[in-house]
């Protein structure tokens, strides 16, 4: 039996685009707290958006190499259903953040070559979910959200943990092919549904969810 893929719309920053994601039927909404990102939202604004989404979709806060104080502040403000770690957090750090917060964690791993998949087992037993994203290019300011896809053939035949998520350069135009080629149980999009960096496009959000759910 084929299972409907789950969809996460990340980097939302306004009530209007959050509502667009919810109305389209997104399973998760992502709030980025990372000042270098064009999708960054302050904790008070993220708290407002989180309250708006409560009970309508899973709420994810994205943090990059956060210290304990930031983790605690983000959890207190946003009350996330899932913490997404998108930096260079070690398996030990992921475990520590889970212990500190009592919240499930998703660890993002950058993929550029087959050897990058070697890191998956170390995290799979600790993080509730693994997100495979395109590795940022050398010198990039952001660890993700760069609009790049990785070679999906790299994960053909790979043993991946249940509930893994595919990210990296996905768009309304490419997501159906990505799902068909990888069998991903979940997909994550950010720049692929934007009209400019950090500016979400409600029409592209709706088109992405529709394309991901095509046939379901």
List, in order, residues 6 or more apart from 95 with CB less than 8 Å away: 126
Q: Which one of 3.90.850.10, 3.20.20.70, 3.40.50.620, 3.40.50.1000 gives the CATH number of domain 6-212?
A: 3.20.20.70
Q: Is 44 a catalytic residue?
A: no
Q: Is the Cβ–Cβ distance between 207 and 7 less than 8 Å? A: no
Question: What are the boundaries of each domain within the chain?
Answer: 6-212
pLDDT digits (tens, 9 = 90+) for 20-55: 999 999 999 999 999 999 999 999 999 999 999 999
* Catalytic residue (one of 133, 151, 188, 201): 133
pLDDT digits (tens, 9 = 90+) for 154-205: 998 888 999 999 999 999 999 999 999 999 999 999 999 999 999 999 999 9
* Catalytic residue (one of 10, 65, 69, 151): 10
Q: Is 151 a catalytic residue?
A: no
pTM over 0.75: yes
């Amino acid at each position: 039996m084929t299972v409907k893929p789950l969809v996460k719309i990340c980097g939302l920053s306004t009530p209007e685009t959050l509502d667009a994601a919810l109305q389209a039927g997104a399973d998760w909404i992502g709030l980025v707290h990372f000042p270098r990102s064009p999708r960054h939202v302050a904790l008070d604004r993220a708290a407002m958006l989180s309250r708006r989404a409560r009970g309508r979709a899973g709420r994810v806060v994205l943090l990059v190499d956060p210290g304990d104080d930031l983790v605690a502040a983000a959890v207190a403000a946003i009350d996330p259903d899932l913490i997404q770690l998108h930096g260079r957090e070690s398996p030990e750090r992921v475990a520590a953040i889970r212990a500190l917060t009592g919240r499930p964690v998703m660890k993002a791993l950058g993929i550029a070559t087959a050897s990058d998949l070697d890191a998956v087992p170390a995290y799979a037993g600790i993080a509730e979910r693994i997100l495979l994203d395109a590795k940022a290019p050398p010198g990039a300011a952001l660890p993700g959200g760069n609009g790049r896809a990785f070679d999906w053939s790299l994960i053909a035949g790979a043993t991946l943990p249940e509930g893994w998520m595919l990210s990296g350069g996905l768009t309304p135009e490419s997501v159906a092919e990505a799902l068909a080629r990888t069998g991903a149980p979940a997909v994550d999009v950010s720049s692929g549904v934007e009209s400019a960096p950090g500016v979400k496009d409600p029409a592209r959000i709706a088109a992405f969810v529709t394309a991901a759910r095509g046939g379901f």
